[in-house]
Structure 1
Amino acid sequence: MYFQSVNGQQVNHISINDRGLAYGDGIFTTAKVSQGQIELLHLHIKRLQTGCRLFKILDVDFSALQNDLIECCKGYKLAVLKVVITSGEGGRGYSRVGVSRPNIIIKISEFPNKYLEWQAAGITLANSSIKLGINPLFAGVKHLNRLEQVLIRDELDQTNYHDLLVLNLFDEIIETTCANIFWFDNDELFTPEIKDSGVAGIQRSEILRKYPATKIVKAKISDIQRAQSIFITNSIMEIVPVINYAGNELDIKQVHQFKAHIANIN
């Protein structure tokens, strides 16, 4: 860990009365830092604002937060920034009556070098046996209630695969353990709809902006089994091709060509 702070103070602890700990009452975002700059910072700030509005977490000065983040990250050539906002500290019970101001946690940590290897060589992907619940109120939001992902990651740790494809209770493709997913079928690009489950990632939104021909669909396993190529993406790993899905070899050259194409679009 390079840097940690809570409400501007460089500490590595937080009160046991924090509602993020007690109830998962908060939101977060994770960004890539490159050459002292936070990539897509405006989108990460927008994500935090959207989450705070949804969860009614008030009194966050986002202009000051953005300035703090820029200052904190200046000295890092390559790192990972994580920002957590909880609703604050409170007593026993779900009610927010009497809760303190929000707590803002900033963490800067080492960049996972494996992602650089993944970007070039691709990853292996299999199916998770754990399915995401249906919750349209929170779908798309990166909130602190991540127990489903913890269990899915535990399942992944028992395998030799790099990642797992995750469905929801409707048997619809949603995401992987920590990334959004895209695939090419007959040279058309597809990605799952994020309305009932899952996280709508920053990189996902950038790909949709740069490549508006992408089809957002409700898809089943049978749909992705027809894919010519597959890739996963999040803010840290960016675009990572899948070289093998459930034992089937895939074309990663198409993914590298697509990545080069959208890299030239502002």
Structure 2
Amino acid sequence: MKAIEQDDINDNETNSQTFIRSLARGLSVLEVFGNRMDGLSSSEIAGAAGLDRATTRRILLTLQKAKYIRQIDDRYYLTAQILNFGYGYLSSLPFWELARPIMQELVAEIHESSSAAVLESGEVVYVARVRSNSRMVDVARTVGSRVPAYCTSLGHVLLAGLPEQERNDVLSEITFKKYTENTITNKKQLSKALDNVAQQGWAISEQQLEIGLCSIAVPLHDSKGKVIAALNVSVQTPRVSTDTLINKLLPALKLTAAEIDRAARARAE
């Protein structure tokens, strides 16, 4: 997760009398845990959150009292209570309640895994995932996982669906990293790719994030036609060719997305 920057905290505090600095610092501490299964020491947390040790200690004691973290020896771990926030977000979106069973039908038909994701701060955040039981090897993505938007099919669909100014704002904040030889590494190249995605209505990523991983994605819309999420199918190469991905899996993916969109419109009526 991306921790709240202290510069942001100071700016917001200056510009708003209602900004609660201590709350922002507490959220920063929670965010630095990310996907760490081995816990963090207080000094590691302080460094990652940009806080002094005394402030970090007070926040950790507060979070322990509230049962959001626990301490084992000299390391701190998130507790299951933190899931209340994630489940609260997902349960507030009946869209995913509609999407999951439809995604399950797609996976049963094509025997490949499928995911749905939203865009947040230049990253793709997985909000639903259905894995294929027929595959022994699968991409280790779970609900809540984050990956860069600029080198994924989900990300390209989501970025392409943004209004022009908003898209430019997001692109200006990206720090490009070359994950593979196929990774897009500059804004001009990405902008051109996104224009193509917006025109054709789908995106494909061929081993841009990981060697051996290809995916294809399409947009999901709200009742007003706005792109609010993306749906993909991911496969391992060379087991599935690019031609198969486009000519056989993409049509099924489009039909699934259309069904999810119809369900979303019906729910909104």
Q: TM-score, normalised by structure 1?
A: 0.30
Q: Which has the larger radius of gyration?
A: 2
| Bigger strand share | 1
| Bigger helix share | 2
